[in-house]
A and B are shown apart, each in its own frame.
Chain A
Amino acid sequence: MMTRILLLGVLAVLLIAAPFFAYPVTLMTILCFVIFACSFNLLLGYTGLLCFGHAMFFGSAAYVTGYLLKTTGLSLELALLGGAGATALLGLFVGLIALRRSGIQFAMITFAIAQFVYFLLLRAPFTGGEDGMQSIPRSALFGVFDISSSFTFYYVVLGITVLSVWFFYRIVHSPFGEVLKAIRDNDQRVESLGFKPERFKLVAFVLSAALAGLAGGLKATVFQFATLTDVSFPISSEVILMTLLGGLGTLSGPIVGAGIIILLNDYLADFGEWALIAQGVILLLVIMFFRRGVVGELDRVLRKIRARRAS
């Protein structure tokens, strides 16, 4: 318990000090993807649903939040909530269709709808098509706090990320989360105990979509533009990679995975296509040798040491 408080304290200090040492935009990108990875983990790690088109929520919220900021002059937090709300609705719609099937069929339906959303956004008049939506303003937070400098904005993004991770933690450790984990383990048995698993999956899907939307909207305000890349398949696959790399079904795994992948992309950016090849090699290594992911393997090693000490 003491060590945990100590660890959290060290983490807090690091997070607060980070923008003094590192480029704030990179840090904010990591934080956005931390939220995105948590939303994905809620589905794959805690409900057992593999969504193959999660970028549709990330990307469409980026456009909705951007559009709200550009045209309505809403303050930042309302625009973000608007984006998350819109993707919650989209999630409800997609969930109602895709959750009629499970396993690979569910994955393929989400993929198909994500492709459809991509082309819809490519053609829609307000998105700017191939050019994307440019110069999204960072309106004042709550209408008063100036957040135009990336340094200040980092702390806002950090705050939203902490809240989001806490929200994710709350869902996973709630009465609802307990049923979700049971559904992941054996949904037939859950049904035989008097629950309707598809309703729980739908609620989880909507919550996940909303959280992914928050991440996307936040990313649009960090970079001040939204592009088709945000809704494209590579983003959907990247979040799968983050989750597997960090550790599926662990609370912090996907968070660590998000950090590693974004930093890697950043360092390898100069090498162009090599970033993708490196990602491929990492995925292969993780699947072949570290199936529990970084956090999962670390946890196993720590447990072993603790067990040896105890005996």
Chain B
Amino acid sequence: MSETLSLDERRPDADASAYALTARGLTKQFGGFHAVKNVDLSIRRGSIHALIGPNGAGKTTCFNLLTKTLTPTAGTITFEGRDITGMRAADVARLGLVRSFQISATFPHLTALENVRVALQSAYGKAFHFWRSLSAVEPLNARAEELLDRVGLAQSRNLTAAELSYGKKRALEIATTLALDPQIMLLDEPTAGMGHEDIEPITELIREAAKGRTVLIVEHNLSVVSTLCDRITVLQHGQLLTEGSYAEVSSNPDVITAYMGGVDDD
């Protein structure tokens, strides 16, 4: 095991089976503009991997390509040995690759419990049963409550998502994502727009949720990245700038220049 790891440190391609998600030559062109250009990325299984970069670096585009929200102009994406380049978001979600959204992506008119239950319905196979009452999905309630409890929303189960505070909405999103029991979670700026008092609990939630899974996270807040992530990829102008641990990346002169002469903590 330790030998494989050291091999990987030197040659990222050496052992493909150590990686949950890989991208090769990933490119996205909008008209003449290359939003993402020839990016290679390997996310080690079980790690928390961050994708960072200054504004306009192509993080979100890259993220949307990996989650199949956008179709790449060129390149391939492999998830657990399977080529998913041509697949739809709904299909990769069923394989175990599930994303969150930058803007709060709850279902505002549904209660917290219903939000999670919809996600649980995905694997339950009764989602088209329009002739049955909701008692058909009541067996899912126990699991939904368990997930809500896990993110600290047990008290809010009967509130609609619209009534929840911003921090609680993000927690609900994580519970909804966890409902699919994904092998890999891709989180789009989970702390975006949050006050300091909310950031710490969400970071803790992500750390807890990441146990036994792989996580790829796009994040602006470098203090979150430094405490949470094992490995960091830096993008600039749509291209790969560098990759490494937080210590390596933050001392890299190119990264410091890219972030305008300093690590900004906001």
Contact = CB atoms under 8 A, between A and B. Distances in A.
Contacts of B129: 174-176
Contacts of A171: 130-131
B90 interface: yes
A174 B124 CA distance: 14
Interface stretch (A56-64, A189-197, A262-270): A189-197
Interface in B120-140: 121-124, 126-134, 136-137
Contacts, number: 107
B180 interface: yes
Interface in A181-230: 181-182, 184-186, 188-196, 199-200, 203, 207
A264 to B, nearest CB: 30
Contacts of A196: 88, 90
Interface size class of B (residues with CB under 8 A): 35 or more
A304 interface: no
A171 B133 CA distance: 8
A146 interface: no
Main secondary structure of the interface of A (DSSP, over half): helix
Contact of B180 (A176, A190, A194): A194
A170 B105 contact: no
Contacts of B109: 181, 184-185, 249
Interface size class of A (residues with CB under 8 A): 20 to 34
A181 B127 CA distance: 12
A192 B99 contact: yes
A176 B107 contact: no
Contacts of A303: none
Given A175-B137, A182-B107, A182-B110, A193 B119 contact: yes
Interface of B: 67, 69, 88-91, 93-94, 98-101, 105-110, 114-115, 117-119, 121-124, 126-134, 136-137, 176, 179-180
Given A178-B114, A185-B110, A192-B98, 5 more contacts: A174-B132, A181-B107, A182-B110, A191-B89, A200-B127
Interface of A: 170-171, 173-179, 181-182, 184-186, 188-196, 199-200, 203, 207, 249
13 contacts: A173-B134, A174-B129, A176-B127, A176-B128, A178-B110, A178-B117, A178-B121, A191-B88, A193-B118, A193-B119, A193-B180, A194-B98, A195-B90
Which 10 pairs between the two chains have the least Cβ-Cβ distance? A194-B93, A176-B130, A185-B107, A194-B122, A189-B105, A194-B94, A182-B118, A182-B107, A175-B126, A171-B130
